[in-house]
């Protein structure tokens, strides 16, 4: 199935373009997606406190991703 990835901050620097399509197996949750991203982008494992939003709602690792979902990768925010 195809999902739309949108990445911000350091996640965008690791993955490449801010928006891209990713082909994943049919039964994929956020935890599975994290493992896929770590395999494809080794630097991704450095992002410990990363958050995911699916179709504009924050979700946990067990949340099931569906065909056509928009997955936003939100790294920790710092600043002053």
pTM: 0.87
CA angle (76 as vertex; 79, 43 as ends), nearest 5:
120
Q: Three-state SS for 9?
A: helix
Give the CA count within 13 Å in the CB-facing half-sphere of 14: 22
Q: Return the domain boundaries, the chain.
A: 2-74
CATH architecture for residues 2-74:
Roll (3.10)
Instruction: For 25-69, write each residue's pLDDT tens digit.
Output: 878 999 999 999 999 999 998 887 899 999 999 999 999 999 999
């Amino acid at each position: 199935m195809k999902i739309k990835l949108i990445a911000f901050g350091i996640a965008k620097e690791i993955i490449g373009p801010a928006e891209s399509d990713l082909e994943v197996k049919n039964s994929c949750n956020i935890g599975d997606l994290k493992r896929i991203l770590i395999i494809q982008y080794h630097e991704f494992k450095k992002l410990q406190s990363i958050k995911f939003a699916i179709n504009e709602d924050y979700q946990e690792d067990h949340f099931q991703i569906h065909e056509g979902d928009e997955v936003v990768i939100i790294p920790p925010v710092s600043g002053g």
